[in-house]
Structure 1
Amino acid sequence: MLQESKYDDFATDYADENEFSMLNAYYERPATLELAGDVAGRRILDIGCGAGPLAEQLILRGATVSGFDTSHAMVDLARQRLGDDADLQVATLGEKLPYSDSSFDDAIASLVFHYLPDWSFALEEVRRVLKPGGRLIMSVNHPILYPFNHRGKDYFQLTQYTDDVTFNGKPAQLTYWHRPLHEIMTALISAGFAIERVWEPPYVKAAPAGVIPEALRDRDAFLSFLFFSLHTSKVDTNTP
């Protein structure tokens, strides 16, 4: 039986942690925004929007943002942040998305694809809602971390695993799917995406004292997530 990460159970604690944590506020989110670049005037789909911190930053940069999350509680928190008129929906990546074809200039999937055992239909749907030439910016757990953190496990096998984590000082569990790098690349290319950039970014060294562990202060970067900037063909090959 497949396990799932149940964000409704710890939505507020996760959102509080995400706001200021090293991994989110000073590593993943800045790297995603750097990959997105100048988004003024662009229409962006925030996939797995959570409580809306990324959507908020994109809107401040001039983008028009729609977002969805599988967690009702997360969408409620995002609406509190972004306002009652925000285009937010409860939907699930890997199922039919509630958007028309060619609706978005960009889609951003921040730390969400690693919850899926199969990326095929999810990527097909993302490609469908993107305009020809549209971009997909995504981050996932770095595949090297699974065998590093779970000694003796096979890097080359698609594997479901659960980690014990702490959000806002409270225990929780997150369940992921590990896939080796070659399977990630194959899935992206098979879905019709061209790879512009694969990135293992630095963290923001200007983070407040106490946020970055002292063991990392003398390092420029560390491995936690893997980032991709992708684009679709400028000619929609799905159109007859």
Structure 2
Amino acid sequence: MPTVPENVAVPVENDYDSFAEAYAAENETSLNNAYYTQPAIVDLAGDVAGRRILDAGCGAGPIFAELRDRGAIMTGFDSSAKMVELARKRLGDDAALRVADIGDPLPFPDGEFDDVISALVLHYLEDWSAPLAEIRRVLKPGGRLIMAVNHPVIFKLLYPDADYFATVKWSDEYNFNGRQAVLTFWHRPLHAMTDAFTAAGFRTAVVSEPYPAPGARERFPDELAGKTAFLSFLFFVLEAV
């Protein structure tokens, strides 16, 4: 196998530190985030007053902020130190934030949280077994994992000749507030997702393909013209059993 010379830098996949500010700025007003993912996660969470919630992959903290405003006791982490820095600017120095990776053992006790939020995080990982097991560990019995990942049909729409039933690595280019970036994902079919949930000790309570939030049609008339909704992400509410 060819090796990379020592003097050549190896690109870091999904290097959010390198485009964190542009990504955070884009998501303040974007259709996919501000008018779709974030409100959908908050709606699925429901009444969170007094609940201890872990935002696993909190980014710059928009969902953390919204749930905290609704009375939740929030803790968050992200693998990007720059994202955590931006979240701290938004949320204040007293916010319970740290740098950690969802692919590693989580730095929290067993049964610490009522809910875990994982918005657009797990689709970066090939193997879900260890992350889901750790999330299950830090949840109380009956606690919820509220999550969103790439809708599995998107990969098939982009690559019609690809094998939908395979777990496949793929990348796409994005423009975040004028900054070009490449994100790399792992496609997996729906049954592989639900099998992983069951194996980790979760019951699938909700599968959601939500509509855009109110105000989206006025702000994005061209993107939503003639559509009741659109395919982008798939949302789940899972209960720890």
Partner of 2:63: 54
Please provide the CA RMSD for this pair.
1.5
Specify the alignment match of 2:173 in structure 1. 164
* Structure 1 position 4, deviation (Å): 2.2
Matched, 1:228 2:236: yes
Q: 1:92 aligns with which of 92, 95, 101?
A: 101
1:68 touches 1:75 (CA, 8 Å); kept in 2?
yes
Distance in 2 (alpha carbons) for counterparts of 1:59 and 1:75: 16
Shift of 1:207: 2.6
In the alignment, is the contact (CA less than 8 A) between 1:3 and 1:175 conserved in 2? no
2 CA distance for matches of 1:227 and 1:203?
A: 13
SS at match of 1:79: helix
Q: Aligned pair in 2 of structure 1 residues 2, 156: CA closer, same or farther (>3 Å)?
A: farther
Contact 1:97 1:125 in 2 (8 A): yes
Question: For the Cα contact (< 8 Å) 1:205–1:217, is it kept in 2?
Answer: no
Within-5 A mapping of 1:61-76: 61-76=70-85
Q: Secondary structure at the match of 2:41?
A: helix
Matching of residue 107 in structure 1 with residue 128 in structure 2:
no
Percent sequence identity over aligned pairs: 54
Q: Quick one: distance in 2 between partners of 1:134 and 1:204?
A: 26
Counterpart AA for 2:66: Q
Q: In 2, Cα distance between the equivalents of 1:124 and 1:203?
A: 31
Within a 5 Å distance, the mapping from 1:8-27 to structure 2 comes to 8-27=17-36
- Equivalent-residue separation in structure 2 for 1:204 and 1:217 (angstroms): 15
1:36 corresponds to which letter in structure 2? A
Q: Which runs of 5+ in 1 are unaligned?
A: 234-240
- After superposing on structure 2, the runs of 4+ consecutive aligned residues of structure 1 that deviate more than 2 Å are 1-4
- Provide the secondary structure at the position in 2 that maps to 1:78: helix
What's the CA shift for 1:208? 6.9
Q: Does 1:218 align with 2:226?
A: yes
SS at match of 2:76: strand
Equivalent residue for 1:182, pick from 172, 191, 210? 191
CA offset at residue 155 of structure 1? 1.0
Are 1:42 and 1:64, in contact at CA under 8 Å, matched by a contact in 2?
yes
- Runs of 5+ in structure 2 lacking a partner? 1-9
User: What displacement does 1:214 show?
Assistant: 1.8
* Contact map agreement 2:217 2:224 (CA 8 A) in 1: no
Paired residue type of 1:60:
D
